[in-house]
Amino acid sequence: MDDAAALLITVTGRDRPGLTSRLCAELARADARILDMEQVVIQDRLVLGILVSPGGDVDPVREALEAVAAEHGVSCEVEQVSHRRPERRDPVDRHHVSILGQPLRPGAIADITAAIAAVGGNIERIERLSRYPIMSFELLVSGVADTAVLKGSVGPAAAAARVDVAVQRAGLHRRAKRLIVFDVDSTLVDGEVIELLAAHAGCAEEVAEITERAMRGELDFEQSLRARVALLEGCPASAVDHVRSHLRLTPGARTVIRTLSRLGFVTAIVSGGFTQVTDALAADLGVDYAYANTLEIVDGTLTGGLVGPVVDRQAKARHLEQVAAREGVPLSQTVAVGDGANDLDMLSRAGLGIAFNAKPVVREQAEVAVNVPYLDAVLFLLGITREEIERADAEDPSLDLPPPPPVDDP
């Protein structure tokens, strides 16, 4: 076939049942061969593109297609174009660029797409992942082999626009994720359990001071944890029960666990907090594995000590590796989500590390960072759409969920 023997058919207008069937039937009668086809529907408005090699004269094909389009009340443009066999792409030359915002304004998208173009990137496809509680889109970008170069270009544009952007290599590995591990405090739940306990024990200011020292690097995690727990000595165990019963999940936490479990993910929580809280949380959410520290309680009172080894930065990464090995999941097929410096080893060891509303040092080092307050944004980074989540929820008879908001809500 020479370069000028192709037709590009572009159909636009209100989507009608049976339209694609009729168009393809006419192409079959003309003995045309379909080379490529793609369709998008937005608010019942259709954009359909079909690239074909005509089997004979072009004019009869054009007339037949235009007649079908007129019958269905849509527009049809038939253009003769050059067509060459697509070049074989290097599989590492494509990336998924996810843009998330609340709101996500046109100016932000303009700046990010300009940044893609500035490093030679070409946007092949755009897909909306969600309208609420955040707006998110996924762009398939080709032409940039170096992930760091693409990140370095779109990152500042996103930061200036105050939206989140994530860059991931395209390929089968993205769809093959099978294990996800969550931090708990300020990730899976809202707030820090030890601070809530300190409020009951009357030592909130002292605990906060030690936390600040740890953040400045004056204490490592184990030192700061033991120092803070020591301040809880004499606190009644009922305070732990109260904190546990009043703990608030991060918005979207149930949705993300429920959805990933449906997809066959192994789920785990690895926390620098306490088993007296995390074990019940894991049971409530249906999480497969849970690891945390254990407060020592004697005669209904906290002793100010811990039982067993501390789950620190190194231990979090070790638990990720151990669960992956036990479940037969390669580390490349794992995801870790956290917000603190003690999550960094876990985030770097996982196939995909996501910093969720994280401290600056964690955002800078993590592969992907999101700053929206909804944990189910993690699903969008895995290419799962809001419509797919809602459809699965609607088909689950065990759920009694309120209807989603109207799709035109901001």
Residues with a catalytic annotation lie at: 183, 185
Pairing of β 289-298 and β 301-307: antiparallel
| Residues with Cβ within 8 Å of residue 115, at least 6 apart in sequence | 153, 154, 156, 157
Q: Taking the CB of residue 15, how many other CB atoms lie within 10 A of it?
A: 18
One-letter identity of residue 69: A
Give the whole-angstrom CA distance, residue 103 versus residue 134: 7
What does the DSSP 8-state code read for residue 133? S
Count Cβ neighbours within 10 Å for each residue of 303-312 and write b for 16 or more, e otherwise.
bbebeeebbb
Reference 243, options 290, 197, 204; nearest CA is 197
